[in-house]
Amino acid sequence: TQVQAMILGEHGDSMVPIWSMAQIANLPLEKFPGVNPTLIAEVEKKTRGSGAEVIKKKGGAGFAVGVSIADVVHSIALDDNRIHPVSSLMSGAYGVRDVCFSIPTVMGRSGVKSHIEVELWSKEKTALVQSANVLKETIAKVLSK
């Protein structure tokens, strides 16, 4: 596909699309003809519901998940230090600690080697911290039962 976009945080209602880095055919999204705030809001809404839609229609997203798992296992086995968009324990990236969520992560034989903090718009950083807080609240609710 010629569309490249990254989702950080959790992959659910508090996911954070990183519009500041999105591209179509290597052109920044905001410079692409026809892209406007209404279209972006519609794409974001569909993206938030797409996981549930795939599960509803197919019964699961096993193949796509399997391909991603194979890529991560490959990096671990070959110690190739590739960057993967995986969920792992945060220890300060974007000011977030003590919760697992997805950001670009260097993977190798020892597992997570480092997190890559890409420059984000301030509203994206705020949304990412909020995503972490949503996850922390959910964990607290589960552990209190």
Can 74 be counted among the known catalytic residues? no
CA atoms of 41 and 22, how far apart (whole Å): 14
Q: Could you tell me if 117 and 90 are in contact, meaning their C-beta atoms sit under 8 angstroms apart?
A: no
Q: Could you tell me if 117 and 95 are in contact, meaning their C-beta atoms sit under 8 angstroms apart?
A: no
Catalytic-labelled residue, pool 11, 74, 84, 115: 11
Going by C-alpha positions, the residue among 98, 99, 72, 75 that lies closest to residue 86 is 72
CA atoms of 130 and 94, how far apart (whole Å): 11
CA atoms of 43 and 24, how far apart (whole Å): 14
Q: Which residues, 6+ apart, have CB-to-CB distance to 23 below 8 Å?
A: 3, 4, 5, 29
Amino acid making up residue 46: K
Q: Point out the residues that are catalytic.
A: 11
